[in-house]
Each structure stands twice: as structure tokens, then as C-alpha cells.
Amino acid sequence: GNSVTQMEGPVTLSEEAFLTINCTYTATGYPSLFWYVQYPGEGLQLLLKATKADDKGSNKGFEATYRKETTSFHLEKGSVQVSDSAVYFCALSHGSGGSNYKLTFGKGTLLTVNP
Amino acid sequence: GAGVSQSPSNKVTEKGKDVELRCDPISGHTALYWYRQSLGQGLEFLIYFQGNSAPDKSGLPSDRFSAERTGGSVSTLTIQRTQQEDSAVYLCASSPRQEIYEQYFGPGTRLTVT
């Protein structure tokens, strides 16, 4: 079946540091890949997505590239801010049975950014 | 516009009792998903609705769990004879037909079984 493995952390960085959170997946065919973010006290929000190989998703300074050859979708940001402190989830969706795009999530990575 | 809403936000119940959790999706969203977020298992898919039918119930952990959706809108997740391992945050998400990859999540219901 489908699965997602991500760096569990926690990750603690200083403001303006470079961020990488690794994510690899197992799936048949060509899933769509996502990063979701959960800020303290808030619900899950879609951060970025990529729906085919070599696509780059980007939003709010975050980027991730869909690498089919390494089955990876690592999240990066060049300069993190305190406001980026949150839990980040890597996920995949593999359309099955028509319009069912249920998500399979990684365990989540807690990021804390200190001033 | 209004997002996905869930009620109650918190529910504490005694072991063995039944509970109902409610999800109001974004108006017009045809797809609705339930997920569960727990410390041990992370985020897990429970059930998927398209309109009022549930073609994928593969994530429901036992026959104590059931869900329905009426009028293509509100959904209720029911847990019968609750157990302590049911304690988790239950999340609902909806998705419009034209943005199949975009799931909008509600704030969740935190269920504690004592």
C-alpha cells in the first residue's frame, strides 16, 4: 500500500536558518504529493503541492520538488522565521475509484524557530 | 466565506458510551473525508463520501465506527461503545469537484474517553 516517511524531528532552528525536512514515499504509479502545515491551535492547511514528476510546488517561501527517481518530496526554505514554527506533514494522494483522493500522511515534523 | 466547521470542539465521554461528531463542509463541496489524528498512529484516513454515498470506508477501525452524510452536506461520525483507544482528534475535510487535490480541513473534534 501507499506510505510516507518523513523526518520526525523535532527540528529547532534559529531565525534566518535554512530548512530541509526530508520526505520519501512508496506508491504505485504517479501519486500527487503535498505538504500540509498545522500552526499551533489551528487546523491543517495545504502549504504546497505537486501533481506530477519534476513539478515544483512553492508557497510562502517554501519549495518542494517531486522527484520520481528518488521517490522524494523534500521541503525547503532558505530563511525561516519565528512564524514558521508549526508541525509539517508530508502526504500523498493516489486517486482511486474515481474521485477518491484520500490522503496518506507522514508522522509530522515539529519545527521550532527561535529568534 | 465560511470554512469547514466541526462540533463539538471537545468531547469527554466515559468508556462504553456512544458519541456523535458532526462536520459541516464548505457549501457546494461534493467530497468529504474523515481522518483521525492520534499520538500513536499519526493522521489516518477513516472514510470518504462523494455526495451522500461512501464508496471508501476502508479506514474505519472497527464496526463500532459508522458515518453518514445527508443532503450532500452535513456528515456525522458515530462511535458506539467508546474505548480508551478511540481518544484522538477527529478531522473532517471537504473538497470541491473542480479542485480535487485541495482538501480544506476543519478544526477537529478532540475526543477523550475516560
Residues of B in contact with A108 (CB under 8 A): 42-43
What single string gives the DSSP state of each residue in B51-76? Answer: TTEEEE-TT--STTEEEEE-TTS-EE
Q: How many CA atoms lie within 13 A of A93 on its CB side?
A: 24
Instruction: Calculate what percentage of chain A has a pLDDT beyond 70.
Output: 96
| Inter-chain touch B59–A43, beta carbons under 8 Å | no
Q: What distances in angstroms separate CA B70 from CA B6, B27, B90, one per listed residue?
A: 15, 13, 19
Least confident of A31-35, B58-62, B98-102, B109-113: B98-102
Identify whether the C-beta of residue B6 lies closer than 8 Å to the C-beta of residue B24: yes
Mapping DSSP to helix (H, G, I), strand (E, B) and coil, where does residue B103 land? coil
| Inter-chain touch B55–A32, beta carbons under 8 Å | no
Residues of B in contact with A46 (CB under 8 A): 102-103
> B39 pLDDT band (50/70/90 cuts)?
confident
Residues belonging to chain B with any Cβ–Cβ distance to chain A shorter than 8 Å: 4, 30-31, 33, 35, 42-45, 48, 50, 55-56, 59, 91, 93, 95, 97, 100-103, 105-108
What are residue B49's DSSP bridge partners?
B32
- Please name the amino acid found at residue A39: Y
**pLDDT of A77-113, one tens digit each?**
999 999 999 999 999 997 665 667 889 999 999 999 9
Per DSSP bridges, beta strands B10-13 and B109-113 are: parallel
Tell me the backbone φ, ψ of residue A38, rounded to 5 degrees.
-125, 105
Cα–Cα dist B42/A108, whole Å: 8
Mapping DSSP to helix (H, G, I), strand (E, B) and coil, where does residue A83 land? helix
Q: Which residue has the higher pLDDT, B67 or A1?
A: B67
Q: Quote the minimal CA–CA distance from B5 to chain A in Å.
A: 11
